[in-house]
Chains A and B, each alone.
Chain A
Amino acid sequence: MPYIPNTDANRREMFDSLGVRDASELFESIPDAILLNRALDLPGPLNEVELRRHAESAATRSADLKTYTCFLGAGIYDHYIPSTVSAITGRSEFYTSYTPYQSEISQGTLQSIFEFQTLICQLTGMEVANASMYDGATALAEAALMAASITGRREWVVSKAVHPSYRETMKTYAWASGCKLVETTVSGIETDLADLESFVTENVACVAVQSPNFLGAVEELEKVERIAHKSGSLFVICFEPISLGILKPPADFNADICVGEGQSLGIVPGFGGPLLGLMACKKQFVRQMPGRLVGATVDAKGRQSYTLTLQTREQHIRRERATSNICTNEALNALAATVYLATLGKQGLHHVADLCLQKAHYAADAISRLPGFEVPFGSAFVKEFVVRCEEPVGNINERLLSRKIIGGLDLGKFYADLAGHMLVCVTEKRTREEIDALVECLAQ
């Protein structure tokens, strides 16, 4: 067997050295009554040739974004991934290693996480970033839990313009931890600030908004900040990392904690996972932060070195008093984001954000000129915008699909009052030709 090197002869010698007949004797501590005593009802084995064929066959039965042109976003984005990313994440020194508990032989992972933390701080303007959370949804839920433990308050206020899955995840976490989640209304496609303000009392641990929000709109963050801080609540911003190539970062709005989904930074859509939860905060809150942190130090010879630090916050040391139960995180995707940000750098990230901005506005303008379509909301946006359609969105998307185009999100599935609206996403990968084909197909 290719992954089990010992041969029958090896095993025989090993059994002999243990003074046992066969493997069954090694399992004697398992009572007979609970031995399975039958083969598992599973298919296989498939040899490597068969396995590859099986996988390739499964792969042909879905529409992939290499073959189809994607105008779907809503939290997962079809951005270009530079060749450097897989060249580095595909190095098995990185991907076959464990959590870097043993610093001396894990400097590669540790230094790259230190760089990741720095890059996220540079992007967001915040003082501290951790080594990653599972995804945007759990990063937001963990930020709310963190706010609850910092403030000693139990209510979380979140705008309904935040990604629906994130709010659903927050709801599960709120219920789990005995907190209360309050969702505030949307006016147009932006957070209704008056409604938000009416819920922010001195019992509120955090006020959380997303910008650009789920509906693509850039929120009025300076106003939300005043509402949050007036009552001593923490201000939590959920950001989109590509848009920060051009938009003012969360720290400029005095965010206490900011979180985001990092998939845009060099990670495949992957049918929604694995993703990359980003989290950064003010330095004063670092001891309440969940997840791993890497710090700089020196080795016994005085050389610059890196190590996991503040581990006394974590479950393997602090157990029931840990700041979170998170252990495994998304380290390899954090490495992908690190390589992505290093590759694009200052110029490249701004360029990608600007391309999204230009192309999305080109598309929005063209669509708004079509009869039966309207771009009804005037909110500022970077790469996603809402289109009102006279024809049912499902019908439109079916027509697009026949032209190998994956259309925008049918918003009626998530917001009852936005039935008949489509959320269209245009990334830097979409060419003018592809956008024109979309517009032409919509017009039919």
Chain B
Amino acid sequence: MNVEPTVFELSSPGRVGVNLPVSDVPERRAEDLLGPANLRDDLPLPEVSQVDVIRHYTRLSSMNYGVDTGFYPLGSCTMKYNPKINEEIIRLPGLSELHPYQDEEISQGILQILYEMQRFLGEIGGMDAVTLQPAAGAQGEFTAMMLFRRYHERVGEGHRHIVIVPDSSHGTNPATAARCGYEVIKVPSGPDGCVDVSALAEELSDQVAMVMLTNPNTLGLFESQVNEISRMVHDSGALMYCDGANMNAILGISRPGDTGFDAMHFNLHKTFSAPHGGGGPGSGPVAVKNFLAQFLPVPVVVDRNGGYFLDRDRPDSIGRVQSFYGNVGVIVKAYMYILNLGPEGLKAVSENAVLNANYLLNKIAPTYDVPYGRRCMHEFVASAKSLKASGGVRALDIAKRLMDYGFHPPTMYFPLIVPEALMIEPTETESRETLDGFAEAMLAIAEEAQSKPSLATAAPHSAARARVDEVRAARELVLRWQKTGD
């Protein structure tokens, strides 16, 4: 595929992409209104016609791979199909053209959706109260961690300064803990892939604030001793946090709130089908048990005599974590998805997601190392360790080669405890035929890795680009387009 110039290189003086109205009020000089010292001399933006804009970004879109393009088994990211009805619904002016400061009395439709969504998520998580404010999973973690700190301060335990995470945790968990000034202690996973409970027990003390677990964990395994862990952690005075990134495995089957977790976040852009948008926007609501509800960020949507209002008068609140009430546009899509599927449909999502993952695991397991056995939840981790040892083909090469077969690669090199990891999450929205096709590609690549390793090590051959030089990007650090000579 050819190189697409940047929009700056397409620029030609005098062009514009939209015609806007001329002023219908008496014209005054900007110098007089703002003072000459406040005015800028030059506005170096590109100048392109509307045709240029549309063709340029349309050509760029053809160099992208989305869920609508094909199978996207990116582990821990839940790249399921995004129902088109929700994309239409969110364009209704009564759901999108709303100002956050317009009176609550004239915002009842949207407030009702937010109010009901708080309840839906509480029910799905087995929790008592919900804030929709966090903009993403990582901000959900941040919010919950601050709720825990406020609680500990209130009960005279504010000195607790340690957060325990398993070595298989998402990177955001330790990063959030550090951001909040906590010391991070990593506990190992046992040979079965679950948290080593005795190692965890040894780390518990009156200095530990919380334990963060992802359940099912990032190896795609349910932490079956979660109840014992919760009891132990609570006995030590610490709290339990659930990273809900993997909720797609257990909708309507098991609830974090029933297994001792005190708080959790949801990723609406994973589990509840809101599209990922090339990296966002997401939405990371936090659900908590009653004893934490008073600390939730302001405002919370409440029902007063059949009307819905934003409750800002919450003296124990940790404060605000976002400009307004959360990523409402994403929340509405997730809400519509829940209504669309209903309780049985949500359960079917998890059953099918788990079935698809197990089916795929068993198809590729004879050829790829699967360090944690032949059963998984919604995702599993395979390893290219043996292939690397025998023919030099790494997980990275397999990922790139999959592009030639028309698939998006799995998550690579995560979790960190599996060498040459390929983390595969098919989701429920894929058919058996698609899974078969992917498995065949994986097996063919393993074969090639022995017979002609260069096919993988030099892959991709048919993508928009050959292997991209990331080292050079970091060394030269060209982070914006500049006119040659500038």
A193 within 8 A of B: no
Contact pattern, B 362-400, Cβ under 8 Å of A = 1, otherwise 0: 100000000000010100000000000000000000011
Contact A14 B280, beta carbon cutoff 8 Å: no
Contact B277 A332, beta carbon cutoff 8 Å: yes
Residues in B with CB closer than 8 Å to A188 are none
A428 within 8 A of B: yes
B190 within 8 A of A: no
| A331 vs B64: C-alpha distance when bound (angstroms) | 14
CB distance from A325 to the nearest CB of B (A): 4
Q: List 13 A-B contacts (CB under 8 A).
A: A59-B109, A93-B61, A105-B464, A118-B6, A128-B480, A177-B181, A270-B328, A273-B324, A303-B466, A307-B468, A315-B172, A342-B53, A345-B17
Residues in B with CB closer than 8 Å to A349 are 43, 45
* Listed stretches B253-261, B285-293, B442-450; interface member: B253-261
- Residues 269 to 312 of chain B near chain A (Cβ within 8 Å): 269, 273, 275-284, 297-298
Question: Which among B58, B178, B283 is the interface contact of A320 at CB below 8 angstroms?
Answer: B178
When C-beta atoms are compared, the residue in chain A nearest to B32 turns out to be A361
Contact A339 B20, beta carbon cutoff 8 Å: no
B113 within 8 A of A: yes
A186 within 8 A of B: no
CB distance from B370 to the nearest CB of A (A): 14
CB distance from B99 to the nearest CB of A (A): 5
Contact A295 B66, beta carbon cutoff 8 Å: no
B313 within 8 A of A: no
B479 within 8 A of A: yes
Contact B60 A108, beta carbon cutoff 8 Å: yes
| A349 vs B221: C-alpha distance when bound (angstroms) | 52
| A423 vs B20: C-alpha distance when bound (angstroms) | 26
- Residues 457 to 486 of chain B near chain A (Cβ within 8 Å): 458, 460, 463-470, 472-474, 476-481
Apart from A26-B354, A172-B318, list 13 A-B contacts with CB within 8 A.
A52-B89, A62-B107, A92-B82, A98-B79, A165-B324, A309-B479, A325-B141, A325-B142, A328-B136, A328-B284, A331-B279, A339-B53, A346-B43
Contact A335 B30, beta carbon cutoff 8 Å: no
Contact B253 A105, beta carbon cutoff 8 Å: no
Residues in B with CB closer than 8 Å to A399 are none
A417 within 8 A of B: no
Contact A112 B60, beta carbon cutoff 8 Å: yes
Residues in B with CB closer than 8 Å to A52 are 85, 88-89
| A15 vs B356: C-alpha distance when bound (angstroms) | 10
Residues in B with CB closer than 8 Å to A270 are 96, 98, 328-329
| A269 vs B107: C-alpha distance when bound (angstroms) | 13
Contact A322 B358, beta carbon cutoff 8 Å: no
Residues in A with CB closer than 8 Å to B85 are 48, 51-52
Residues in B with CB closer than 8 Å to A111 are 4, 6, 60, 63
- Residues 268 to 316 of chain A near chain B (Cβ within 8 Å): 268-275, 286, 292-301, 303-310, 312, 314-316
Contact A115 B40, beta carbon cutoff 8 Å: no
Contact pattern, A 11-48, Cβ under 8 Å of B = 1, otherwise 0: 10111011000010011111101111001111111111
Contact A310 B474, beta carbon cutoff 8 Å: yes
A375 within 8 A of B: no
Interface size on A (CB < 8 Å)? 202
Asked, given contacts A111-B6, A272-B323, A299-B468, whether A432 binds B24 with beta carbons under 8 Å apart, the answer is: yes
Residues in A with CB closer than 8 Å to B479 are 114, 117, 128-129, 286, 293-296, 309
| A166 vs B324: C-alpha distance when bound (angstroms) | 10
Asked, given contacts A63-B102, A320-B177, A331-B280, whether A350 binds B43 with beta carbons under 8 Å apart, the answer is: yes
| A123 vs B258: C-alpha distance when bound (angstroms) | 51
| A424 vs B66: C-alpha distance when bound (angstroms) | 42
Residues in B with CB closer than 8 Å to A380 are 33-35, 38
Residue of A121, A165, A261, A297 with highest tally of chain B CB at under 10 A: A297
Contact B465 A131, beta carbon cutoff 8 Å: no
When C-beta atoms are compared, the residue in chain A nearest to B225 turns out to be A31
* Listed stretches B198-206, B232-240, B423-431; interface member: B423-431
The secondary structure that dominates the B interface is: loop
Asked, given contacts A35-B254, A40-B347, whether A96 binds B339 with beta carbons under 8 Å apart, the answer is: no
CB distance from A232 to the nearest CB of B (A): 24
Contact B135 A362, beta carbon cutoff 8 Å: no
Residues in A with CB closer than 8 Å to B474 are 295, 309-310, 312
Number of A-B contacts (CB under 8 A): 689
CB distance from A210 to the nearest CB of B (A): 13
Interface size on B (CB < 8 Å)? 200
Contact pattern, A 87-99, Cβ under 8 Å of B = 1, otherwise 0: 1101111111111
- Residues 89 to 117 of chain B near chain A (Cβ within 8 Å): 89, 91-103, 106-110, 112-113
Contact A99 B278, beta carbon cutoff 8 Å: yes
Contact B344 A45, beta carbon cutoff 8 Å: yes
Asked, given contacts A62-B107, A271-B107, whether A345 binds B15 with beta carbons under 8 Å apart, the answer is: yes
| A185 vs B181: C-alpha distance when bound (angstroms) | 29
Contact A76 B100, beta carbon cutoff 8 Å: yes
Contact A6 B465, beta carbon cutoff 8 Å: no
- Residues 145 to 193 of chain B near chain A (Cβ within 8 Å): 145-146, 149, 170-172, 174-181, 184
| A62 vs B109: C-alpha distance when bound (angstroms) | 5
| A262 vs B93: C-alpha distance when bound (angstroms) | 20
Residues in B with CB closer than 8 Å to A435 are 25
Contact B146 A66, beta carbon cutoff 8 Å: no
A55 within 8 A of B: yes
| A112 vs B48: C-alpha distance when bound (angstroms) | 15
| A344 vs B100: C-alpha distance when bound (angstroms) | 26
When C-beta atoms are compared, the residue in chain B nearest to A319 turns out to be B174
Contact B403 A88, beta carbon cutoff 8 Å: no
CB distance from A402 to the nearest CB of B (A): 11
- Residues 418 to 443 of chain B near chain A (Cβ within 8 Å): 428-432
| A319 vs B120: C-alpha distance when bound (angstroms) | 32
Question: Which among B64, B142, B178, B358 is the interface contact of A107 at CB below 8 angstroms?
Answer: B64
Residues in A with CB closer than 8 Å to B171 are 314-319, 322, 327
Residues in A with CB closer than 8 Å to B26 are 362
Asked, given contacts A29-B222, A45-B342, A54-B339, whether A107 binds B465 with beta carbons under 8 Å apart, the answer is: yes
Residues in B with CB closer than 8 Å to A345 are 11, 15-17, 45-48
Residues in B with CB closer than 8 Å to A65 are 93, 97-99
